[in-house]
Amino acid sequence: MQLIKNAHILTMDQDDRIFHPGYLVIDGDRIKEVGSGEYANESQCDWVFDAKDGILIPGMINCHTHLGMIPFRSLADDVPNRLHRFLFPLENQAMDAPLVYASSKYAMAEMLLAGITSFVDMYYFEEEVAKACQEMKIRGIVAETVIDQAPDGEEKFAGLKYGRSFIQKWQNKDLVTPAIAPHAPYSNTSESLKAAQTIAADFQAPWTIHLSEMDFEMSKYQKECQSSPVQYLNDLGLLDDRLIAAHCIHVDAKDIDLLKEKGVAVAHCIGANTKSAKGVAPIKEMLQAGIAVGLGTDGPSSNNSLDLFSQMRLLANFHKTYNHDRAAFPAREIVRLATYGGAQVIKRHRELGSIKAGNLADLCLVETQSANMFPVFDPYAVLVYSANASNVSHVWVNGHLCVEDKHLSDVSLDQLKQELIQAMEPFNQALANL
C-alpha cells in the first residue's frame, strides 16, 4: 500500500470535501481510504510520502487533443491559411506510423508531467497511439479519424475500415478505450457520419467530432440546410450519449437544448478557440442546461501546450470578460471542469474525477513550496491563477507512480525527445520542400 500524508486534499466529490491536513491510501489500482489527520496504520504501508502541504487533486482529464501533431508545434502559428498551407500537405506527405508513435509518447510525457492522467485523442495511425498509451501507463480514449482523405489509408474515408478493426482489436484493454472520430460534419458525407456512429454503436464505444467550430461551417449548413451543424447532425439521427463534441463555439439556445436532450458531452478548448480567433463558446449556458462539459487542450499545433493549468486560467479570464462578470466561473468550478467534469464527458465519473474510497487511483499532487505557490488562502484559486505545469510533483495513474519529484518514473524525457527528432527527419524534409 502507498500512503500520501500531510496533503491539502481537494476531493472534488459531490460534497466538495476538503481534508487539510489529509492522508490518502492507495491499495493496488484503487483509493482505499482518504481522511483528515494521521493514518493510524502507517506502519502497514510499503511506501510513505510526505506531501508537505501540497495540493492533491484527482488526475486531470484532457477531453480533446491530437497527440500525433507535436511536429507541428510553433510552425506557422500566425499564418491565416495555415491549415491548407502547411498542416494538410505535411500530413499527407510525411505523417506515418513511426512519427505518430514517437510524437504520441512525447505528448503523453508532457501531459503526465502536467498532471493529466486521462485524455481523448483524435488522429491517424491510432494503433500506434494505443501502443504508446500502454507503454507510458496513461489512460486514453483513442479515436481513429474518419475524413475523406487520410494519411493512413488510400481510399476515401479509410478510417471507417481502420476504425472498426482497431476498436475490435483493442476492446477491453487496460488503460486504452478504442473509439472512432469523424473529423467534422463538413469533412464527411452523411453516409460516412452514419457509418461511424454505427461502428461506435456496434461496440458500445465512444465517438468524437469537431462541431460548430468554423465560420465557414456555420455558413455552409445555414445555406444548404437552413440549420446549424448541431441541428444537421440531429436531423440525421447522429446525436447520442456516446458522442463527445469538441469546440461547440457557435451554438445557440436550440443547439444547446438538442445537446442536452441527446446526452452529448462537450470538450471546451478555450486556448485553441481564442488563439485562432474563432470565438468563446457559451459554456455557461451549456452548464446551466446540464450538459457535461470538460476541458481540452486541442492539439499541440492549435494550442501549443498540453496542460490544463493554462486552459483553466484562460477559461477564467475569457469567460469573466465574455460574461462581463468577475464572479462568473469561480476557481472551484473551473477545477471541477478539469477533473470531475472531464470524467463526466468520458462517462467514467463513477470511478474517476473525484477522490473517494473505491475510485481508481488517478491522482495529481501539486507542490506548494515554489515561490509562485505562497500563500494558499484558497487552494482552488492557487490552482487556477498561480500554478503551472512545473508545480506538478507527483502523478499516479491506476495506482502506478508515473511522475515522481517532477520527473517521469518509467522513461527518460530526453530519450523520448531524441526518438521524436529521429522520426521527424522525413517531416522536416517535406517541410523544406513546401
**pLDDT value of position 82:** 85
Residue 218 domain flag: yes
Q: What is the per-residue pLDDT for 392?
A: 98
- Render pLDDT for 80-126 as a digit per residue (tens, 0 to 9): 888 888 988 999 899 999 999 999 999 999 999 999 999 999 999 99
Please tell me whether residues 261 and 123 are part of one structural domain.
yes
Q: Is there a single domain that holds both residue 386 and residue 340?
A: no
pLDDT above 90 covers a percentage of the chain that reads 95
Q: What pairs with residue 61 in β-bridges?
A: 118
Domain with 94 in it = 60-346
pTM metric for this prediction: 0.97
What are 158-176's pLDDT values in tens digits? 999 999 999 999 999 999 9
39, part of any domain? yes
User: Is 144 found in the same domain as 189?
Assistant: yes
**pLDDT tens readout for residues 165-221:** 999 999 999 999 999 999 999 999 999 999 999 999 999 999 999 999 999 999 999
Which one is predicted more confidently, 64 or 149? 64
Residue 59's pLDDT is 98
Does 31 reside within a domain? yes
Instruction: Write the CA distances from 99 to 9, 94, 123, 178, integer angstroms.
Output: 39, 9, 12, 20
The burial of 375, by beta-carbon neighbours within 10 Å (0-12 exposed, 13-18 middle, 19 or more buried), is given as exposed
In a domain, 416, yes or no: no
Q: Is residue 414 domain-resident?
A: no
**Averaged over 241-248, what is the pLDDT?**
98
Asked if the structure places residue 434 within a domain, the reply is no
State the average pLDDT over residues 300-324.
95
Calculate what percentage of the chain has a pLDDT beyond 70: 100
Which pLDDT tens digit goes with each residue over 371-416? 999 999 999 999 999 999 999 999 999 999 999 999 999 999 999 9
Say which residue, 322 or 352, is predicted with more confidence. 352
- Same domain? For 331 and 390 the reply is no
Indicate if 73 and 21 belong to the same structural domain. Answer: no
Integer CA distances (angstroms), 367 to 52, 54, 55, 218, in order: 8, 4, 6, 44
Answer yes or no: do 376 and 300 share one domain.
no
Q: Do 20 and 146 fall within a single domain?
A: no
Chosen domain end from 326, 346, 366 = 346
pLDDT for the residue numbered 117: 98
Residues 95 and 198 in one domain: yes
Judge if 36 and 90 occupy the same domain: no
Regarding whether 121 and 204 lie in a shared domain, the answer is: yes
If asked whether residues 82 and 133 sit together in one domain, one would say yes
CATH for 313: 3.20.20.140
Q: Note whether 323 and 379 are same-domain residues.
A: no
Chain mean pLDDT for the chain: 96
Q: How far apart are CA 174 and CA 197, in angstroms?
A: 24
In a domain, 424, yes or no: no
Where does the pLDDT of residue 434 fall: very low under 50, low under 70, confident under 90, or very high at 90 and above? confident
| CA nearest neighbour of 283 among 256, 243, 245, 313 | 256
* Residue 154 pLDDT exceeds 90: no
3-state secondary structure the chain: CEEEEEEEEECCCCCCCEEEEEEEEEECCEEEEEEECCCCCHHHCCEEEECCCCEEEECEEEEEECHHHHHHCCCCCCCCCHHHHHHHHHHHHHCCHHHHHHHHHHHHHHHHHCCEEEEEEEECCHHHHHHHHHHHCCEEEEEEEECCCECCECCCCCHHHHHHHHHHHHCCCCCEEEEEEECCHHHCCHHHHHHHHHHHHHHCCCEEEEECCCHHHHHHHHHHHCCCHHHHHHHCCCCCCCEEEEECCCCCHHHHHHHHHHCCEEEECHHHHHHCCCCCCCHHHHHHHCCCEEECCCCCCCCCCCCHHHHHHHHHHHHHHHCCCCCCCCHHHHHHHHHHHHHHHCCCCCCCCCCCCCCECCEEEECCCCHHHCCCCCHHHHHHHHCCHHHEEEEEECCEEEEECCEECCCCHHHHHHHHHHHCHHHHHHHHCC
Does 19 score more than 90 pLDDT? yes
CATH number at residue 14: 2.30.40.10
Total domain count, the chain:
2
Q: List all residues 6 or more positions away from 309 whose beta carbon is below 8 Å from its beta carbon.
A: 114, 115, 383, 387, 388, 389, 391
